[in-house]
Amino acid sequence: MKIGDLVEYEGSHSYGKQSRDLGTVVRLDPEFRDTECYVVWHTTNNEGWWSARCLKVVSKHENR
């Protein structure tokens, strides 16, 4: 995953109706958090560090 990628949460929780949780990767810290990325979620009022194992890239950021 890279900064700017649109990601979807692929975790195992479910609260009633299953909806897509979409967010954008805004920060990486490979020195201290090599398996995590900072995500700002668009479908919930949430942001923070998330394990890349729980995320799926929906769309790659093209402007690099």
Q: What is the pLDDT of residue 28?
A: 95
Q: What are phi and psi of 53, to 5 degrees?
A: -65, -20
Distance, in Å, from the CA atom of 34 to the CA atom of 22, rounded to the nearest integer, reads: 21
How far is residue 25 CA from its own chain's centroid? 6
Q: What is the pLDDT of residue 22?
A: 92
Give the predicted TM-score (pTM) of the model.
0.81
Other beta carbons within 10 Å of 17: 5
Which structure tokens are listed for 51? Answer: 């394990």
Q: Which residue did the predictor score with more confidence, 30 or 14?
A: 30
The pLDDT tens digits for 20-41 are: 889 999 999 989 899 999 999 9
